[in-house]
């Protein structure tokens, strides 16, 4: 599994990356495949530097904002984008407290909120217990 796929998997699982004391801390709401853990672990240094990269004003074209990114620390929906990886990736941080929200572009590949989250599951009415 590539790192991009692992990040996608993590996002779908409602996972979070946090930089704690220079180390990448992965928080997941539901279990993710072992392959995703391995990909994240194999690229932990790259992730750490991506999370720690200083914020700069984006110079690359940005994907249109998709949905609302809510900061789970301070509740703000104001976000700020910073380009990293020589402008090939975009990291979205909370504009108020600076918390990492997500990568909106990963090495040139725009990642919309819609693609990040699995669609909500609905239970067919025929399966609803009576």
Binder among 43, 58, 66, 99 for Zn ion (CB under 5 A): 99
Query: Nearest Cα to 96, choosing from 75, 65, 113?
Result: 75
Instruction: Closer to Zn ion by CB, 16 or 43: give it.
Output: 16
Q: Given the DSSP bridges, would you call strands 100-106 and 79-84 parallel, antiparallel or unpaired?
A: unpaired
Q: Whole-number minimum distance, CB 77 to Zn ion, in Å? A: 9
Tell me if 71 contacts Zn ion by CB under 5 A.
yes
Instruction: Closer to Zn ion by CB, 35 or 74: give it.
Output: 74
Phi, psi dihedrals of residue 93, rounded to the nearest 5°: -115, 160
Instruction: Closer to Zn ion by CB, 98 or 108: give it.
Output: 98
- Ranges within 11-40 binding Zn ion (CB under 5 A): none
Counting Cβ atoms within 10 Å, is residue 26 exposed (0-12), middle (13-18) or buried (19+)? middle
User: What is the CB neighbour count within 10 angstroms for residue 54?
Assistant: 6
Tell me if 76 contacts Zn ion by CB under 5 A.
yes
Contact positions vs Zn ion (CB under 5 A): 71, 73-74, 76, 94, 96-97, 99
């Amino acid at each position: 599994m590539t790192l991009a796929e692992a990040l996608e998997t993590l996002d779908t699982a409602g996972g979070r990356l946090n930089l704690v004391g220079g180390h990448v801390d992965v928080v997941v709401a539901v279990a993710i495949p072992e392959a995703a853990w391995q990909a994240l672990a194999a690229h932990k240094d790259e992730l750490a530097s991506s999370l720690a990269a200083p914020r700069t004003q984006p110079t690359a074209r940005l994907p249109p904002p998709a949905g609302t990114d809510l900061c789970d620390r301070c509740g703000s929906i104001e976000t700020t984008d910073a380009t990293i990886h020589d402008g090939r990736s975009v990291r979205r941080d909370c504009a108020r407290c600076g918390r990492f929200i997500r990568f909106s572009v990963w090495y040139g590949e725009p990642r919309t909120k819609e693609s990040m989250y699995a669609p909500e599951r609905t239970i067919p009415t025929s399966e609803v217990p009576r």
